[in-house]
Amino acid sequence: MAQADSTQRPDRNPRRDLAPARPEGGVRESAGREGLAATEVVLSFEDNRLASLVFGQYDQNLAHLERRLGVVVSPNGNHVTVKGARETAEQAGRVLKTLYARAKAGAPVTLGEVDGAIEESNVQRSLFPTTDAGKASFDAVVTRKRGPVRARNAAQDAYLRQLKRHELVLAEGPAGTGKTWLAVGHAVSLIEQGVVERMILSRPAVEAGERLGFLPGDMREKVDPYLRPIYDALNDFMEARHVERGLQTGMIEIAPLAFMRGRTLSNAVVLLDEAQNATSMQMKMFLTRLGEGSRMIITGDPSQIDLPAGQRSGLVEAVKLLKDVEGVGYARFEEGDVVRHELVRRIVMAYESAARHERAEREERLRNPETPPDLNREGDSEGLKRMLARERPR
C-alpha cells in the first residue's frame, strides 16, 4: 500500500518552477524561484507494476494531476514526490493513494478516474477538513464485467444514491454527464442481483432535425438506430454474448414508446432515454406503466428538444410536477458535470452561456419594450446593414 512520508523536506530542485500558485494553507519548508512556499510529500508504492498503472502511459495521469491541482509531481521508480502548497500537495498524495488502491483492486486507472478521485477528495476535504478525511467516498455501481464503477463527481454520486433509494428517478442535464450510462449500469446490477427479472429499454423515435423516412426490417431493426447509445452502454457492463442471449430470451426487451400503452411492467427495470422528446401525453402514459416490483429511470436533456414547434416536452413537465412528490427521485446535472471529454465540457458551457445571454436579452426586451435593439451587436445587425445597403437608391 502507498505510504506517505510524514516529514516535510526542503525543495532540493530550485531550477524547476512551481505550477501556478494555489491558496496557501500553512507553514512552508522552502520556496521556489517565485517566492512561493512549498511542501514536499513523498509516496512509496510496494508494487512497481501497479505504480506504473497509477502513473499512466508516459506519466499522463501525473501530468493531468499537475494541471488540475497546480503541483509538481516527480516520479522515480516506485516513488513519487509531490511539491506544492501544503493543502494541494497533501490532496494530491491522497488522490495517488486512492488510485493505487483502485489499481490494486483491478480497476483501470484512466484520466477520467483521476478526475473522479480529485472530485472525491474535494468532497472529503469539505466534509472532513481534519484528520478524518477519507471516510466519505463516492457511491459506485457494481457489475460482474466491470466490477465497481465509482461516480466521478458529486452530481453522479447524488444520482447513484437516488437510483438506489427510489423506484422512480428523473434525471436531466446536458450531454456527456453520464445519465444514461450510469442508469444502464444500475439496471444491469439490479438484474445480476436478482432484484428484477428483466430490463425494458425505450426511447422516443424522433430524429435530430432530419427525416430519415421509413426504415427497413422488423420492429427491433427499425428501433435499433435510436437505441444504439443504450446498446453501447450495455456492452460496457455486460459481455456481448450475455446481451445477445438476453435479447433472445426477453430478459432485455426493446419497447418503442409508442407501443407501451395498456401494458403493466412488473418486476422490471424500465429505462426511458432521450425523454425530452416525449410529448406530455406520452410521458403520462409511460409513467403509469410502473408495476409491482419495478424500477423506472427517465433521463433527458431539456436543451436538445427535437419536438415540433408548439409541443411541450414531457420531461420538462414531469420534472416540474413530480420532482417534489414523495417516492420520486430527482437528479440534475450542470454543464460543469460533463465527464465525456474536457472539450465536450467546454462546448456545452459555451452553448449554455450563449443561451443564458439570449434569455437575459429576451427578458430585458419584455421588461422594456421601447428599448431599441443593439445595432452594434454582431450577427443579425450585420445582416440588417447589408440589407439596407442593397435597398439604398443609387
394 residues of the chain, pLDDT tens digit each: 445 444 444 444 443 443 333 333 333 355 544 444 578 888 888 888 888 899 988 888 899 888 888 889 988 888 888 988 888 888 888 889 989 988 888 888 888 888 888 888 877 655 444 443 444 578 888 888 888 888 888 889 999 999 999 999 999 998 888 899 999 999 999 999 999 999 999 888 765 444 545 666 666 666 677 778 888 889 989 998 999 999 899 899 988 887 888 888 999 999 999 899 899 999 999 999 999 999 999 999 998 888 888 888 999 999 999 988 999 999 999 888 888 777 877 887 888 888 888 888 888 888 887 655 554 454 555 554 555 555 444 4
CATH classification of the domain holding 14: 3.30.1370.10
The pLDDT of residue 206:
65
Residue among 283, 281, 304, 302 nearest 208 (CA): 304
CATH classification of the domain holding 196: 3.40.50.300
Q: Are residues 152 and 128 in the same domain?
A: no
Q: How far apart are CA 298 and CA 318, in angstroms?
A: 10
Could you say which of 105, 137, 169 is where a domain stops?
137
For residues 114 and 99, the answer to whether their CB atoms sit within 8 Å is yes
- pLDDT tens digits, one per residue of 65-109: 888 888 899 888 888 889 888 888 888 888 899 899 888 888 888
Q: How far apart are CA 126 and CA 100, in angstroms?
A: 22
Q: How far apart are CA 88 and CA 8, in angstroms?
A: 14
| Rounded (5°) CA angle 286-292-298 | 35
Q: Are residues 386 and 328 in the same domain?
A: no
Total number of domains constituting the chain: 3
Q: Are residues 349 and 331 in the same domain?
A: no
Q: Are residues 371 and 301 in the same domain?
A: no
- What is the pTM (predicted TM-score) of this model? 0.66
The pLDDT of residue 111:
85
The pLDDT of residue 33:
42
Q: Are residues 53 and 155 in the same domain?
A: no
The pLDDT of residue 169:
95
Contacts of 133 (CB under 8 A, 6+ apart): 94, 121, 124, 125
The pLDDT of residue 370:
67
The pLDDT of residue 341:
75
Residue among 296, 338, 336 nearest 318 (CA): 296
What's the Cα-to-Cα distance from 267 to each of 68, 167, 231, 251, 304, rounded to whole Å?
Answer: 44, 11, 21, 11, 32
For residues 338 and 177, the answer to whether their CB atoms sit within 8 Å is yes
Q: Are residues 230 and 249 in the same domain?
A: yes
Q: Are residues 266 and 379 in the same domain?
A: no
Residue type, 220: R
The pLDDT of residue 116:
82
The pLDDT of residue 213:
53
